[in-house]
Chains A and B, each alone.
Chain A
Amino acid sequence: MKDFHTSATSIKKIVIVGGGIAGWSVAAVLANAFRKQDIKITVLDCKTTAGDFFPCSSSTPATIEFLKILGISEREYVERTDSAFYLAARYNGYADKRDYFMPLGDHGFMMHGLPFSGYALSARFRSGKTPYDAYSLASVAARQGRFRHPSGNEKSLFSTLVYGFQTDLNKAADVFKDYCCAFPVNQVVADLKAVSVCSKTGCIKSILVTSKDNERENSHGEEVIDFDFYIDCTGSASLVAEAALGGEFSSLKHRLPVDRCCYVNLPNTQALPPFTEILPAPCGLLKRVTTRNALQISYTYDSDFLADEDAAKFFEKTLNLPRENITFTWLSQRHIDRFWYKNCVAIGPSAGRILDLFIDPLHLVQSAALRLVNLFPASFDSEVNSKEYNRLTQIEYEHIIDFHQLHFTLKNNIESDYWAMVRGLKNSPVLQHKLALFAARGVIPFYEGETLAMGNWTSMLLGLGDSPRSYDPIVDTYSSLWVDDQLLKMRSMMRDAASKLPDHATYLRHYLLQ
């Protein structure tokens, strides 16, 4: 006998159109949320757009929370997805000649109730040269190739080791898929042929699929299946939200000026750095991710300025990478105007794409899945839910776009037509205000619903940008001798603590044996 409860929601049949990392992530979240009700979840495991995700990705600390919610053991996840940890993103080639390790967490400690950055800035005004990443244990540890899990004790310095994963996304998709197998999630391997939309309500009535399973095939090999709620995870083809429901996309290229990428994914025979790398290149940005088994280098560039052949040459000549392994894909950065419309929510590249930098595309998928559960409709007339969902998603996109735009607009060492063009990019009004306040004072204003913490912004700008004109004057009511002494102590504390940490590869080996 089934242990299903009666439920008040009229949504009884949910379909996720598209498997892959987006589809299976969403399916896992819904399967976990609706464990005991008679709500049927189906994954239509159809082809999703190729090349939407790089094979490997560096995922934010939000993934840890995501796994916790699902009850997936982190150790198992790390093991099965070839994951390595990461503590920071190493930026190389921006204004400062030195490289900079931007931690996922924050820097330093508050003193006398004032944020740490003010003290660091006052010291910079006095004597100048200490890089801001010397005040983050995670950064110092990352630079030395060390890692351990953070301490649960909030007072311990080791609690500041905020981390994420460098992960094989195909294997992660398998983890979420297997997770779904433990639930009555129905998997249909078929291709999406057509979507039928009700002309009166504008809602999706049913979908037409071509079954690949010969035994279930009817005479035409086709089947019409109707659901109450549709989640479009078909990838950037956006087969349901755009193609069937007429959602419109707006391009983001004027904010994030790249549209094409190439990458190589090689067996990792080298070291296992607990960091990713981001570097400006002649016509775009390079990112390097290292999992336990793979080394992935991607070059995201502007096709108006760089031909594929020249990108390939750059890989071969400058990076010494074999050109036969290069994969090219288009990256049209854009997002849909209505993420949730009627009885359909687009999640993942079907909703929007932003190039993979400090925030990776998987983050957008997982945060959308959790937001959907939070606003899951109890009825068909769910317009207020969708409005709120769309409002929050829009805010999420805007701030990430702003943050990623910094990767282009912060000064770097490259002189080229491309970078000359980039310098003329316009900032959004919010970004303008943020940068103006930072330039005046070294602080970042708070905005509701923003993904990045104020500490991330401060780190990025203090690490890679110009120094602000001034800082909190109240800092100067404490003697500069005292402040300098505190900062010195903090730095040596970070250094000592880092030197006590195990080497990342060794730690990982032991961790996986547990």
Chain B
Amino acid sequence: MSITPMRIVIVGGGTAGWMTASALSKFLNSDDYMITLVESEQIGSVGVGEATVPHIRYFNQTLGIDENDFIRRTNATYKLGIEFIDWKCKGESYIHPFGLYGREINGISFHHYWLKLHKLGETSTIGDYAIGVKAAEKNRFQYPDENPSSLASKYSYAFHIDASLYAEFLREYSEEKGVQRIEGKVADVTLSGATGAIESISLESGEVVEGDFFIDCSGFRALLIEQTLHSGFEDWSRWLPCDRAVAVPSEKSSAPLPYTKATAKDAGWQWRIPLQNRTGNGQVYCSKYLNDEAAADSLLNNLDGRPLADVNQLRFTTGRRKKTWEKNCVAIGLSSGFLEPLESTSIYLIQIAITKLIEYFPDKIIDSVVADEFNREMAMEYDRIRDFLILHYTATDRTDTEFWRYMQTMEKPASLQRKIDLFRHQGHVEKYKKGMFLEPSWVAVYLGQGIVPQYYHPLVDELSVEDLKKELADVRTFIEKYSELMPAHADSLNKYLDNNSVTQAWPPGAMSLYGVFS
């Protein structure tokens, strides 16, 4: 290693900035790397990712964070999935759980068997075969079973958190590990004449912060990656036209639910995220079909508790940076792109960018092919999530507003059309290994929103109808009984929140949406 430490400068705090700072301070030793984070108290944080996905548990685990301490500090509640209300049509809903449906038989995924039963006229829904769904419906929570062969181990969980408290928590963590925080607003950025790389940033105070490597966590402003380095933006608003959001916290109305609610509205959708002390609410909408005032009204009329603050307005364009790593700068968080929080992907995208940044961490001299690879992998992550989100809007029978009529008829990306065709025909889910949403998630949304395949896999017929019925009834009964015996969500929460009770070890984290014990 060189004698002078490599200087890493993170521009912007918030969830992205402090997650990055804490991970880097954990993995890079302070003799060789000097990490500085510049943020301004005058600039608010968007506070994305109040609803998380199970991968966050893996992130916390690698940092050595006590999960129960984390829950206490961030006012967190448990999350087993997301309920999608009114997406297929008004009056219908389904839960996309963090978990699997039933179990594979003869190498063929469970949903094919369910499909046959469905075609025979059975009325059970696919959700009846997922513990996450049943537990959520019953408002219960318990850690997944440790026995990997048990059906009760085939789900995972995440949290609803106060993202600004999480950022504070990680700030403490980072500063303890030697990250230096500088208060101030960036006034100017200096580039190297020779390479075009960033040399330093100047703050409004006049202070100059030099660095070898810069991480842009400046949010929508994309101060370094776009305003300075002009990486370019791939605009996806023709597929995901929602471009605004209004958000407001409200009083807690009841015991917190162990899942997020996402309700489709006339020109977008509304989220409901239960924390220990309050409920987070917001509406994402398309300004072409709904004005800001109407959106705010609609949000306020659909709260189940008194609002606790003024309505906060956000504007955005969906899409991603063409390159999230350019020269000596990587964009992490909203500076790298924006996808609406329909499937709680923001913190995941931060986490995956951090993971890949560490995997491809540069030397002082940066090989552009390393950046190319980082960009290729991030683009793949973004593109796959994009297709999955578009599916929610386009797999619908809704024609009640202009917004939904547009969604139903618009031309989809070819990569999504191919996936839908494949599923619609014979229930086949396009397989890939890397990416946030794999087969169970696609199945959840396809079936939940009315894409029922014409055929099931021919191998399903290897099982006689009697055996098929028995097999599925066994799974259903097990899940029903098991979820019935789980403690109430609030009781589980109180148990782990209680400092004095013997802390039960939480299950290990995994980079998977579907299980904790692989």
> Which A residues contact B (CB, under 8 angstroms)?
5-9, 11, 33-37, 69, 113, 373-379, 382, 384-385, 387-388, 433, 436-437, 439-441, 443, 445-446, 448, 469-470, 472-474, 476-477
Contacts and interface: CB of A to CB of B under 8 A. Distances in A.
A388 B428 contact: yes
B458 A7 contact: yes
Nearest to A473: B363
Interface of B: 1, 27-29, 31-33, 62, 107, 116, 358-363, 367, 369-370, 372-373, 376-377, 418, 421-422, 425-426, 428, 430, 432-434, 454-465
A476 B461 contact: no
B422 A446 contact: no
Given A9-B458, A37-B462, A376-B458, A448 B361 contact: no
B377 A446 contact: yes
B32 A8 contact: no
A384 B369 contact: no
A384 B421 contact: yes
Given A33-B459, A437-B370, A440-B370, A477 B433 contact: no
A34 B108 CA distance: 13
A6 B116 CA distance: 13
A473 B1 contact: yes
A7 B116 CA distance: 11
A11 B426 CA distance: 14
A190 to B, nearest CB: 27
8 closest Cβ pairs, A-B complex: A378-B455, A7-B461, A440-B367, A9-B458, A436-B369, A477-B29, A384-B425, A476-B1
Contacts of B425: 382, 384-385
B422 A388 contact: yes
Given A388-B430, A437-B370, A448-B434, A476 B32 contact: yes
A117 B464 CA distance: 50
Given A384-B421, A440-B367, A445-B376, A378 B457 contact: yes
A378 B367 contact: no
Contacts of B33: 477
Given A8-B456, A433-B369, A474 B358 contact: yes
Contact of B434 (A35, A374, A446, A469): A446
B28 A474 contact: yes
A385 B465 CA distance: 25
A34 B462 contact: yes
Contact of A376 (B31, B372, B459): B459
Given A445-B373, A448-B433, 15 more contacts: A5-B462, A9-B458, A11-B458, A34-B462, A376-B457, A384-B421, A388-B422, A433-B373, A437-B372, A448-B432, A470-B363, A472-B359, A477-B28, A477-B29, A477-B32
A97 B456 CA distance: 56
Contact of A441 (B116, B370, B432, B462): B370
A472 B461 contact: no
A382 B32 CA distance: 58
A282 to B, nearest CB: 34
Contact of B455 (A379, A437, A439, A445): A379
Contacts of A439: 369
Nearest to B372: A433
A37 B461 contact: yes
Contact of A384 (B363, B422, B456): B422
